[in-house]
Amino acid sequence: MSEASADQHLRAVPRDSSAAAAPFDLAAAFDEHGGALFGFAVNALRDRSLAEDCVQETFLRAWRARDGFSPERASLRTWLFVIARNVIVDAQRSIQRTPRIVPADVLDDSASPGSDPLDRLSVIEGLAKLSPEHRAVLVNVHLEGRSYAEVEADSGVPAATLRSRSFYALRAMRDHLTERKGRNV
C-alpha cells in the first residue's frame, strides 16, 4: 500500500461519536511503516527488544493522538517518525539516567562524546526513511565497502542502476540532514 493510501485511513477520522468514524487502521499503518520504524529504533538503540518496545510505544502514542493527526500538515509516515524519534530519545535518555556503577579511575578518563547524539540519530533516521532499494545501496557500497560490481553480481541489479540509486539516496540524506539541522538551531 502506498503512503498516500495509508494516509487515507486517517483522513476521515471524526472522533465525534455522532459521526461515522473511519478508524485509524493500525494494521495498515504497521504494515506500511512498521519495518522502517523498527529499522530506525534498532539501529539507534542496538537493542532489538528495546527497539520493538519503542515501535509499540510509537503506535500507542499515535493511536491515542489520532484525533489530532492532520494529513494536510504531514504524511502519516512523517508523523510516525516524529513520534518514534521522541520515543527513542526518551529511551536513550532514560538509559543514560539509569545509575551505573563504574570504577573510580574510569571517571577521570571518561571522554565526552565526540559528536552530538542527536546528529547520529538524525543520520539513522534518514537511513531508515529511505526506500529499501536506496538504503541497501548505501549500506552495501558505502557502509560495507563493497564495489558496485560485487553488489551487481550478488543482486543482479546493474551497476549503473546502483550508482544512480546511490546518488539519489545521498541526495535524500542530504535533504533530510539539512532539514534536521535547520530544526535544531
Partner 1 sequence: MSDDRDARRALLISGALTGDLSAAEQDELDAVRRTDPTVDTEIRELAEVLRATTAAAPSWDASAPSNALRDRVLALSTEADVAEAPAEGARVTAMRRRPWLLVVGAAACVAVGAGGVLLGQPTVPGPPTGPPGTLGAIEQISFSGEPNGVDIDGSLVAHTWGTETILNVTGLTEADFYEVVLVTVAGDSLSSGSFLGSTVAIDCEMNAAVMREAVASVEIQDASGTVVAKAQLPSAE
Positions in 13-42 near partner 1 (CB under 8 A)? 23-24, 26-27, 30-31, 34-35, 38-39, 42
Name the DSSP class of 130: S
Nearer to partner 1, 107 or 183 (CB): 183
Judged by DSSP in three states, 158 sits in coil
Residue 79 touching partner 1 (CB under 8 A): yes
How far, in Å, CA of 174 to CA of 101, rounded?
Answer: 40
Please report, for the chain, how many H helices and E strands are present, in that order.
Answer: 9, 0
Residue window 37-76: x/- pattern of binding to partner 1, with contact defined by CB under 8 A: -xx--xx--x-x-xxxxxxxx-xxxxxxx-xxxx--xx--
Residue 94 touching partner 1 (CB under 8 A): yes
Alpha-carbon torsion angle 131, 77, 182, 136, nearest 10: -20
Of 9, 85, 129, 134, the one binding partner 1 by CB under 8 A: 85
Nearer to partner 1, 6 or 138 (CB): 138
Number of Cβ within a 10 Å radius of residue 144 = 10
Stretch of 10-18, 100-108, 150-158, 176-184 lying at the interface with partner 1 (CB under 8 A):
176-184
* Residue 68 CA neighbour count, 13 Å, CB half: 6
| Residues 98-127 interacting with partner 1 (rule: CB under 8 A) | 98-99, 115, 118-120, 122-124, 126-127
CA 125 to chain centre: 4
CB of 28 to partner 1, least distance (A): 10
Nearer to partner 1, 123 or 157 (CB): 123
C-alpha cell at 49: 527488544
C-alpha cell at 16: 465525534
* Number of residues near partner 1 (by CB under 8 A): 84
| Residues 125-154 interacting with partner 1 (rule: CB under 8 A) | 126-127, 135-136, 138-139, 141-144, 147-148
Of 82, 150, 155, 157, the one binding partner 1 by CB under 8 A: 82
Taking Cα atoms as reference points, which of 182, 41, 58, 44 lies closest to residue 121?
44
